[in-house]
């Protein structure tokens, strides 16, 4: 295995003389790929018997015969009729959600054919602020990926009156981040959509800062799409959104000039319904994109990354070339970088994948990034350098004190009897929850859980500065049928300490275990504890992704033992503190509900509602 240097992605202007000389044959190519079936995403064709000539990191020639540019130093690859497609691009992804650092993420996805992405690092930014975002950018630049970063727009996701994050980002910070380089590509998803629609000064200022810097703004809109509010949101300059869960969501966004991002994460299965905008309603696909949003480490190993999403779209009836367009050129055009990535065309970066078997299989046999072969047959062929994190990044969990069982007692307004309470009902393979009214038994002024009723407690505890601030709520439909608790500092998006369980003692034990690891996940059963350390901002591990995937798998298996059989259950549970997603969520400040007017705090007990 070769040791990589810093992967170079120079500006096209600096490469023009060499590219033209190579196309003429005066300068010999560094790499030539012959005898390919070219997946031409710009014309929508499959072109047989094609050759690709590469000079350094960029493509110089695409045509029938590249023999005139082959010299003694040229690496020649005979593709033997295999399909050559552009490297896949993820148009909306949070690296931190894969619980691995950018270096390990690159190792995990390059072998699957992903050569670039548009990464919204709002997870680490909510913990460490702009320094955290800068760490992600600096590390991503050391990998072969065409890694474009977005400036986190919602830190916190709404406002400090509703939740506590580790930092605050406003218009000035957004403007500063855009000075770091052209690979700071866009404003990340604007999740405070009520703030945009009703002209919150901070949110409007951030969008204006992005537009003035010549960048685009990404969205996150979950209100119904059939009234004036979506137009107001689009009028702000936000031109992309990944919260389409059905065909109508896609159609209305596209009609307003937005890019509709269709998501197939580990636990967010939205493509099957949203793609019907094209397969059943005939909507033009040029503003439709395939994205992952969040992929767990074991799903990267077991299913794949963008290769999996493209394969899934094809299985829904999308023409293969069209599916590839949704994961390459459409994405590049959305972010204004189609001159560099997204197609196999002269002048573009040589980000190319060779496919084994049929086009519908999307089985990647070789990955070329910036003109270098970086992976073959599922293995990396280059060694990526290690990245060192500062002490501030690996010691980010600060609790006021050790947790005790009494911290999870939910006091009731009566001493005995039954009361009606609100519970967050989780939904398998969906990001949203439903508000469920549950009947709870009260004994000596406290809620007493019944294991047979599938209702458990949830706590969110501030962990950034050790204030001790916390809130308690109820969760239903998790499936727990024996004493258990799960604690995690991965709790979107403020990433406070979240604990879910049906035993106060086990909840305290799980929370203390996570704090002792300086972040991560712990599942505690009566006779077992399973841990996944995530010391980088309490979100990521720098260990090899294969190792993290196995630890994550152990967490999933422990949840199954406790009765929780949801697909990639942790991914769903980790969203229960993300208050910008309907319908009911819990922050460290209280129980938050999305209404027609925006975000409001509601009481746990229905009887307490005024």
pLDDT tens figures, 156-205: 988 888 999 999 999 999 999 999 999 999 999 999 999 999 999 999 99
Residue tagged 């406002």 (tokens) = 159
Distance CA 429, CA 568 (A): 8
As a whole number, the mean pLDDT across the chain is 96
Residue 160: its pLDDT value, please?
Answer: 87
pLDDT tens figures, 256-286: 999 999 999 998 899 999 999 999 999 999 9
Whole-model pTM: value is: 0.95
Whether the predicted pLDDT of 441 surpasses 80: yes
Residue 100: its pLDDT value, please?
Answer: 98
Whether the predicted pLDDT of 550 surpasses 50: yes
Structure tokens at 276: 């019907």
Residue 6: its pLDDT value, please?
Answer: 58
Asked if 124 contacts 133 with a C-beta cutoff of 8 angstroms, the reply is: yes
Residue (of 513, 496, 494, 428) closest to 458 by Cα position: 496
Residue 597: its pLDDT value, please?
Answer: 75
Distance CA 438, CA 423 (A): 7
Asked if 162 contacts 579 with a C-beta cutoff of 8 angstroms, the reply is: yes
* pLDDT bucket at 430, cuts 50 / 70 / 90: confident
- On the CB side of 149, how many CA atoms lie within 13 Å of its CA? 30
Structure tokens at 262: 């269709």
Strands 114-120 and 88-93: parallel
Distance CA 185, CA 486 (A): 36
Average pLDDT of the residues in 546-573: 96
Average pLDDT of the residues in 427-448: 94
Delimit the domains of the chain by residue range. 86-342, 392-601
Burial class (CB in 10 A: 0-12, 13-18, 19+), 228: exposed
86-342 CATH: 3.20.20.140
Distance CA 514, CA 524 (A): 11
Distance CA 286, CA 121 (A): 26
Average the pLDDT over each of 109-118, 274-283, 590-599 and give the range with the smallest value: 590-599
CA angle at 189 for the pair 186 and 190, rounded to the nearest 5°: 110
Whether the predicted pLDDT of 436 surpasses 50: yes
Whether the predicted pLDDT of 237 surpasses 50: yes
Concatenating the DSSP letter of every residue in 145-174 gives SEEEEEE---SSSS-TTT---S----HHHH
* pLDDT bucket at 595, cuts 50 / 70 / 90: confident
* pLDDT bucket at 609, cuts 50 / 70 / 90: confident
Distance of CA 509 to the CA centre of its chain: 29
Backbone angles phi, psi at 474, to 5 degrees: -125, 145
* pLDDT bucket at 372, cuts 50 / 70 / 90: very high
Q: What is the 3-state secondary structure (H, E, C) of 217-233?
A: EEECCCCCCCCHHHHHH
Backbone angles phi, psi at 508, to 5 degrees: -65, -40
Distance CA 509, CA 29 (A): 61
Asked if 460 contacts 491 with a C-beta cutoff of 8 angstroms, the reply is: yes
């Amino acid at each position: 295995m070769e040791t990589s240097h810093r992967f170079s992605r120079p500006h096209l202007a600096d490469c023009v003389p060499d590219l033209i000389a190579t196309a003429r044959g005066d300068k010999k190519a560094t790499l030539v790929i012959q005898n390919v079936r070219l997946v031409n995403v710009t014309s929508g064709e499959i072109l047989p018997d094609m050759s690709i000539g590469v000079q350094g990191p960029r493509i110089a020639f695409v045509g029938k015969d590249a023999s005139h540019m082959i010299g003694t130093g040229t690496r020649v690859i005979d593709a033997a009729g295999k399909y050559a497609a552009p490297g896949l691009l993820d148009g909306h992804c949070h690296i931190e959600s894969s619980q691995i650092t950018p270096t390990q993420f690159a190792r995990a996805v390059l072998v699957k054919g992903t050569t670039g992405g548009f990464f919204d690092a709002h997870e680490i930014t909510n913990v460490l602020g702009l320094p955290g975002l800068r760490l992600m950018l600096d590390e991503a630049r050391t990998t072969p990926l065409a890694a474009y970063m977005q400036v986190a727009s919602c830190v916190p996701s709404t406002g400090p009156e509703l939740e506590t994050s580790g930092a605050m980002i406003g218009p000035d910070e957004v403007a500063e981040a855009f000075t770091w380089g052209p690979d700071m590509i866009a404003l990340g998803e604007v999740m405070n959509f009520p703030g945009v629609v009703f002209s919150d000064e901070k949110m409007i200022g951030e969008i204006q800062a992005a537009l003035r810097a010549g960048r685009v703004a990404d969205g996150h809109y979950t209100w119904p799409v059939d009234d004036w509010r979506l137009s107001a949101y689009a009028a702000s300059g936000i031109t992309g959104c990944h919260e389409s869960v059905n065909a109508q969501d896609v159609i209305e966004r596209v009609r307003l000039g937005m890019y509709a991002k269709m998501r197939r994460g580990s636990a967010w299965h939205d493509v099957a319904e949203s793609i019907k905008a094209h397969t059943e309603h005939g909507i033009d696909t040029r503003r439709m994109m395939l994205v992952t949003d969040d992929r767990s480490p074991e799903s990267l190993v077991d299913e794949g990354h963008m290769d999996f999403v493209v394969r899934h779209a094809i299985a829904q009836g999308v023409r293969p070339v069209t599916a590839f367009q949704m994961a390459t050129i459409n994405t590049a055009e959305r972010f204004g970088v189609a001159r560099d990535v997204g197609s196999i065309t002269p002048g573009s970066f040589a980000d190319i994948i060779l496919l084994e078997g049929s086009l519908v299989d999307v089985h990647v046999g070789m990955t070329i990034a910036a003109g270098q072969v970086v992976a073959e047959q599922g293995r990396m062929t280059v060694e990526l350098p290690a990245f060192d994190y500062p002490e501030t990044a690996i010691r980010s969990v600060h609790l006021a004190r050790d947790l005790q069982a009494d911290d999870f007692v939910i006091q009731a307004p009566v001493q005995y009897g039954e009361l009606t309470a609100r519970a967050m009902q989780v939904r398998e393979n969906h990001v949203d929850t439903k508000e469920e009214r549950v009947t709870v038994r009260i004994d000596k002024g406290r809620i007493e859980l019944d294991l047979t009723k599938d209702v458990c407690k949830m706590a969110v505890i501030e962990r950034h500065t050790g204030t001790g601030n916390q809130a308690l709520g109820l969760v239903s439909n998790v499936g727990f049928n024996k004493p258990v608790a799960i604690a995690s500092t991965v709790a979107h998006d403020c990433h406070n300490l979240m604990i879910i369980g049906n035993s106060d003692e086990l909840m305290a034990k799980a929370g203390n275990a996570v704090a002792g690891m300086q972040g991560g996940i712990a599942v505690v059963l009566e006779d077992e504890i399973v841990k996944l350390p995530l010391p980088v901002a309490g979100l990521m591990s720098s260990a090899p992704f294969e190792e993290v995937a196995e630890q994550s798998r152990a967490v999933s298996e422990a949840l199954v033992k406790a009765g929780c059989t949801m697909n990639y259950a942790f991914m769903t549970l980790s969203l229960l503190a993300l208050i910008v997603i309907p319908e009911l969520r819990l922050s460290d400040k209280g129980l938050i509900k999305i209404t027609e007017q925006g975000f409001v705090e509601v009481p746990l007990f229905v009887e307490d509602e005024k």
